[in-house]
């Protein structure tokens, strides 16, 4: 499955980090119950790879990605754990080569026109705009649409349930990434029903790219 296909499965890609495998499995099931089929598990906790391995076996409908890829050696590990795509906060040729060698579709992070040019030169036409809000948000993406009309973005970083529709209304946005579907307080009290409700609301959003 290509990145182009993955980012069009749903309008919101939850960006997740977990303290335990059990927590990750419960959250993933709650998200799936709410209609969210794609998620990104970030390598920010020791449990991350084990969570990916467990969640990847949860359902054939679930597409599990690995986030915060910053070193080439992480790609092969992610594939072994069952990840079906990778996400990086930035992009280097070494990361691109590692993704290709591991056979892991990559969503590379960019924040500036120069970084976009580097990603395009490596063959990418869908990128992660990160950190979205600090890097200029909706106005920046509107400005980038002119010189990069064929490029599509998955903005991530500081996006909320309230701001997501503004991003998804842009013609160059295919989906958004965010952590608002799994508030820490809700996860801590194991309120999986609340997470399913948040997932249902997110899955109901309609990007301009999907309705065109």
* Domain range list for the chain: 3-207
Mean pLDDT of the region 141-167: 98
Return the percentage of the chain with pLDDT > 90, whole number. 97
**Contact between residue 179 and residue 15 where contact means Cβ atoms under 8 Å apart:** yes
Mean pLDDT of the chain: 96
Distance CA 131, CA 70 (A): 15
Q: What is the pLDDT of residue 192?
A: 98
pLDDT at 212 over 60: no
Q: What's the pLDDT at 208?
A: 85
Paired tokens of 1: 């499955």
Residue range 133-138: average pLDDT? 98
Residue 211 has pLDDT above 60, yes or no: no
> 181 pLDDT exceeds 80?
yes
Question: Is 142 one of the annotated active-site residues of the chain?
Answer: no
The whole-number pLDDT of residue 210 equals: 58
CA distances in angstroms from 189 to 76, 109, 192, listed in the order given: 34, 32, 9
3-state secondary structure of 178: strand
Single out the catalytic residue among 128, 133, 142, 162: 128
Give dist(CA 91, CA 157) in Å, integer.
16
pLDDT tens-digit series, residues 50-82: 999 999 999 999 999 999 999 999 999 999 999
Among residues 22, 25, 40, 133, the one annotated as catalytic is 40
For domain 3-207, the CATH class is: alpha beta
Let me know if 128 is a catalytic residue: yes
pLDDT at 131 over 80: yes
Share of the chain above pLDDT 70, in %: 98
pLDDT at residue 47 tops 60: yes
Extended strands (E) in 84-200:
85-87, 106-107, 109-110, 126-129, 152-155, 176-178
Question: Which tens digit of pLDDT belongs to each residue from 94-119?
Answer: 999 999 999 999 999 999 999 999 99
Sheet of 38-42, strands arranged across: 106-107, 85-87, 63-67, 38-42, 12-16, 176-178
What whole-number distance in Å separates Cα of residue 13 and Cα of residue 3? Answer: 13
């Amino acid at each position: 499955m290509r990145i182009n296909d993955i980012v069009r499965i749903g309008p919101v890609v939850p960006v997740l980090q977990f303290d335990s495998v059990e927590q990750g499995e419960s959250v993933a099931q709650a998200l799936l119950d709410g209609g969210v089929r794609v998620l990104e598990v970030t390598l920010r906790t020791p449990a991350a790879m084990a969570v990916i391995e467990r969640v990847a076996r949860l359902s054939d409908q679930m597409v599990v990605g690995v986030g915060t890829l910053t070193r080439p050696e992480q790609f092969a590990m992610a594939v072994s754990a069952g990840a079906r795509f990778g996400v990086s906060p930035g992009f280097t040729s070494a990361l691109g080569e590692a993704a290709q060698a591991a056979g892991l579709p990559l969503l590379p992070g960019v924040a500036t026109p120069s970084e976009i040019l580097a990603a395009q030169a490596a063959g990418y036409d869908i990128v992660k705009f990160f950190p979205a809000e600090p890097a200029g948000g909706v106005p920046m993406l509107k400005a980038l649409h002119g010189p990069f009309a064929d490029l599509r973005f998955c903005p991530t970083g500081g996006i909320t349930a309230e701001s997501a529709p503004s991003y998804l209304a842009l013609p160059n946005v295919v989906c958004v990434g965010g952590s608002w579907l799994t508030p820490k307080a809700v996860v801590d009290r194991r309120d999986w029903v609340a997470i399913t409700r948040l997932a249902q609301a997110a899955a109901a959003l309609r990007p301009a790219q999907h309705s065109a």
